[in-house]
């Protein structure tokens, strides 16, 4: 895991072989982030928009992979807004 800038982070998972595995892992991570927790006797709620990309399907260079994951994140955000 690394901070890419601002409030953007990247996670590299080396044992993901396909898009379904990436989607499952991103959903699991989102559930953990979305789980409420208590800080100084106050419940805090966080959320995250998580996009993903799979090597080599989405690119062979890190810039391509990051760009594809970014596109995926914005698509997920758009879909979430349309469902509201």
- Model pTM? 0.80
pLDDT, residue 19, reads: 92
Q: Flag whether pLDDT at 47 surpasses 90.
A: no
pLDDT, residue 28, reads: 94
pLDDT, residue 52, reads: 94
Residue 10 has phi, psi (to 5 degrees) of -120, 145
Nearest of 3, 6, 9, 7 to residue 52 by alpha carbon: 9
Give the start-to-end residue ranges of the domains of the chain.
Answer: 2-83
Domain 2-83 has CATH 2.60.40.10: no
**Confidence tier at 74 by pLDDT (50, 70, 90):** very high
């Amino acid at each position: 895991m690394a901070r890419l800038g601002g409030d953007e982070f990247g996670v590299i998972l080396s044992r993901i072989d396909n898009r379904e595995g990436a989607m499952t892992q991103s959903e699991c991570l989102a559930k953990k982030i979305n789980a409420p927790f208590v800080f100084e006797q106050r419940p805090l709620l966080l959320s995250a928009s998580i996009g993903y990309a799979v090597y080599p399907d989405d690119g062979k260079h890190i810039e391509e992979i990051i760009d594809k994951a970014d596109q995926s994140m914005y698509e997920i955000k758009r879909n979430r807004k349309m469902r509201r």
